[in-house]
Amino acid sequence: MKPVVIAVAITGSVPRKKDNPAVPITPAEQIESTRQAYEVGATLVHIHVRNDDETPSSDPERFAAVQAGIAEQCPGMIIQFSTGGRGRDPSQRSSALYLRPDMASLSTGSVNFPTIVYENHTSLVEDMAGKMKEFGIRPEIEIFDLSHLHGARQLADKGLMDEQPHIQFVMGVQNALPAEERLLDILLKEAKHRFPTCTWTAAGIGRHQAKVMNWALVRGADAVRTGLEDNIRIAKDRLAVSNAELAEHAVLAVERHGHRAATTEEARALLGCRPIAPVQSM
Ligand code: ZN
């Protein structure tokens, strides 16, 4: 059975407690929510941090607290920081990378979002990619549009990224790419053309989550993505009670396709992350 990485995006920058009380906001809530998802099989956590008033934050101290807590509670789990831009000062989006998370998200182009233009100027993208390279962080390339694959190719051509990136296609963001199966085929074909050895996953936003996950699994994705960042519901008329509940559904989807959830060691090997540091004996 092929191992598939279960990635959980626990918080994001949009959902609030009023939308779903299970959205973890404080570092303590984020660590506990991640631990529960890890217990059911999640091996990669994608992290945004928030201020106490739930607005998006770039505070390195918050990232450090969540990183330390997850490393302790969830041994081996891949920790991925978001460098996403919604509600954050562009100059601060990479301010926590010095903490050397295993991975960080990297958008390689601009796109329309529901209420804003998500701006990713080439100079900003190159700056963030350079920092990830400097700190030995694996980028997860976020693809909101076909042209973003070209942006990723440029980074590799300039030596800012290697030839085997982990690529995530994001589908179903209002005003960006719709969640349509044939578009995933186009994106995947182009990604494999530009990066023949890339690993990949796809995220469906909101009600598209389970559908996009199935399309990805049919096509042999290396990872699937779930979590309250992308989707706060388990069904049209019921909120998810936790990130763990969504992660459990992802594990079941993987198993329905004849695969199994990857272990932490397998996840790290698959996505080219550092092996788990050996425990220091005194
Ligand atoms: Zn995110």
Per the DSSP assignment, residues forming a β-bridge with 56 are: 50
Q: Six-digit token pair at 238?
A: 């019921």
Average pLDDT over residues 186-201: 98
Residue 101, pLDDT above cutoff 80: yes
Bridge partners of residue 44, in order along the sequence: 7, 78
Please write the tens of the pLDDT for every residue from 201-233.
999 999 999 999 999 999 999 999 999 999 999
Q: How far is the CA of 104 from the centre of ligand 1 (A)?
A: 10
- Torsion over CA: 207, 210, 216, 222 (sign): positive
The answer to whether the Cα torsion of 146, 178, 209, 27 is positive or negative is positive
**Gap from CA of 46 to ligand 1 centroid (Å):** 6
Q: What is the Å distance from ligand 1's center to 279 Cα?
A: 30
pLDDT value, residue 259 = 98
How far apart are the C-alpha atoms of 178 and 180, rounded to whole Å?
6
What are the pLDDT digits (tens) for 265-280? 999 999 999 888 665 5
87 pLDDT band (50/70/90 cuts)? confident
Q: Do the Cβ atoms of 229 and 12 come closer than 8 Å?
A: yes
- Separation between Cα atoms, residue 202 and residue 206, nearest integer Å: 13
CA of 11 from ligand 1 middle (Å) equals: 8
What does the pLDDT look like over 46-59, one tens digit per residue? 999 999 999 999 99
Beta-bridge mates of residue 57: 49
Question: In angstroms, rounded to a whole number, what is the distance separating the alpha carbons of residues 116 and 46?
Answer: 22
Q: What pTM does this model have?
A: 0.96
Q: Please tell me the distance between residue 105's alpha carbon and the centre of ligand 1 in angstroms.
A: 8
Structure tokens at 242: 């936790």
CA distance linking residue 218 with residue 256, whole number of Å: 10
Q: pLDDT tens-digit profile of 111-156? A: 999 999 999 999 999 999 999 999 999 999 999 999 999 999 999 9
Cα-to-centroid distance, 48 and ligand 1 (Å): 6
Q: Which domains does the chain have, with CATH numbers?
A: 3-271 (3.20.20.70)
Tell me the average pLDDT across 5-23. 97
| The pLDDT of residue 278 | 61
Residue 195: predicted pLDDT: 98
The rounded Å distance from CA 281 to ligand 1 centre is 36
- Which residues are CB-neighbours of 40 under 8 A, at least 6 positions away? 244, 247, 248, 251
